[in-house]
Amino acid sequence: MTGHPENVTEFERARLAEAIGRAISARSETGKSGIAAAVLRDGRVISEAENEVHLQSDPTRHAEMVAIHRAAQALDTTDLSGCVLISTLQPCEMCLSAMRFAGIDRVIFAATKANVALKYFAFPHLEIDDFQRGDFVAIGGVDEHRILHLYAHGTE
């Protein structure tokens, strides 16, 4: 089920605002792209990450993937049930799949697929609803106006 921005907690909204700031800063760092993510659980930040695809020469090092990896290490488990993923950009198909395998059941993101360049999605015919099962909640468009300039034309 797709959630609504009014269902985002103040803590989640503040962490997304921080991620937006990190994405804007990362854009000017060598090897990084302006995409940031975090994994939250029980009112605390478990991990934070920026896109490292070019920094690590690894096409799987999306910000969401790096944040999931770091959260699993920090919690010493592959089961991230009860965690929330925060991202500045709607997660791509690879990242959504990793979230689902990890058991993450809530994702909150700023820029939505409908408003960004299609280069961010390898399978544009797949929609976020295709990744939903059970209690999975996706809430997009939260503070989108603050970050959309990075992704609207695919120039981040």
Q: Would you call 64 a catalytic residue per the annotation?
A: yes
Decide if 120 contacts 151 (C-beta within 8 A): yes
Query: Nearest CA to 123 among 135, 111, 131?
Result: 131
- Running DSSP on this structure, what letter comes out for residue 26? H
Instruction: Dig out the tokens for 84 from the structure.
Output: 């929330």
Of the listed 64, 93, 127, 156, which one is catalytic?
64
Query: Nearest CA to 80 among 60, 61, 94, 98?
Result: 98
Active site residues: 64
